Structure 1
Amino acid sequence: MTTAKLFAAVTGHLRRALNTQSDNATTERSEGGFTLIEVVVSFTLLIIIGSTVMVGIGNGIHASNATRVRTTASNVARDYIEQARSMSPAQVTAISPTSVKVGAQTFTVTRSVSVGQPGLTFAAGVTCATAPNQTGLYNSLLPLMLYITVTVSWNGASAPARSDTALACVSA
C-alpha cells in the first residue's frame, strides 16, 4: 500500500470511530435528560436574574414613595404660601415650626417673613408698616416687599421642600 492509501484508510477508520462515539454520546445524553451541572447552572442563572428583578422593583417602589412624599410636602408649602397671599401684608407673620399631618406622614412647616426692597432685606422685626421709620436704608422710589419663605421638612428628607414669594407692602 502506498502512503496516501494508508493515510486515507486510517483517516476513514478514525472518522467512523469518532462518529460512532459522538452518536453514542448523543444517544446516551438524550436518553439521560439534563446533567446535574446543567441544572445547577440554570438554577443559579434563575436566582441571579430573579434577584436583579426584585432589587429593581424595590428601588422603583422606594423612588415612587419618595417622590410622593416630596410632592405632598411641596403642596403643603404652596398651601401656606397661598394662605399668606390671601392676608393683608400686615397680618402675615412668621410661623414657628408647626407639625402638619397628611395621611401617615408628618411634616414640619416653618414660615419666615422679612421686609425689604429689591436687592435688600431689612433687619428682623421690621414690618411693612415700620420699615420707612426704622431703617435709614429705605428708598421711597423702590417698593417695599414682604418676602415669605415656607420650608417643609420631614423624617427621611434629603432636603426640605421650599417655596418663596414676594408681596408688595400695600394693604388691600
Structure 2
Amino acid sequence: MKLLGGWTIHGELPDIPKAIIPVAPHTSNWDFFVGLCVKLALGLRVSFLGKHSIFVFPIRGLLTWLGGIPVKRDSAHGVVGQMVDEFAQREQLVLVIAPEGTRSKVKEWKKGFLHIALGANVPLVPVSFCFKTRRINIADPIWPKEDVEQTLSEIKAFTDQAVGKRPELQ
C-alpha cells in the first residue's frame, strides 16, 4: 500500500485484539507523524504511551483521541504494572512503543515493553520505519519468552535493517 510521500507498507498487522507493536528505529519526531499516517491510512485503533505531563489542555483531547495513554513514570506501581493492568481491563488494546525510549542515541533498549507483553500475555508485532527506502515493514507476531534477551534479539534482527531519519542516532 502506498502512503503520502512515497512511503509503502510491507506486511500486514494481524487481526488480533491485543498486542504490543515495538517500532524502531526511533531517531526523530518525524517517526510519530509517519506512524500517524499509517494509523489513519489503515484505520487502526492503536494506543501509545505519553508522559502524563503532556496530557494538558489544549492538546489532552487530541492526544487521547489519537490513542494516547498518560503514564506516570515515577509511580510506585510502575509503567509495566500500569500497562499490564490496562491490558487486563480492556477487551482491545494494541500498544505502539518505541523500545529505545527516546530519540537520542542509546546503548541499550528499554525492556519494559517485553515485561508488559509477558505480564499481559500478548504477542509482539515488530515494525520498522526505514527512511532510506520509505518502507514500513511489519513482521509476523512474536510471542514473548521468559528469556527477554532472546525475544529482544528476534525483534532487533527484524528492525536493525531499517535506517532512521537520523541514522547517527541509531
When the two structures are superposed, what TM-score results if normalisation uses the length of structure 1? 0.22
Whose helix proportion is higher, 1 or 2? 1
Whose strand proportion is higher, 1 or 2? 1
* Relative contact order, higher structure (CA 8 A, sep 6+): 2
When the two structures are superposed, what TM-score results if normalisation uses the length of structure 2? 0.22
- Could you say which structure has the larger radius of gyration? 1
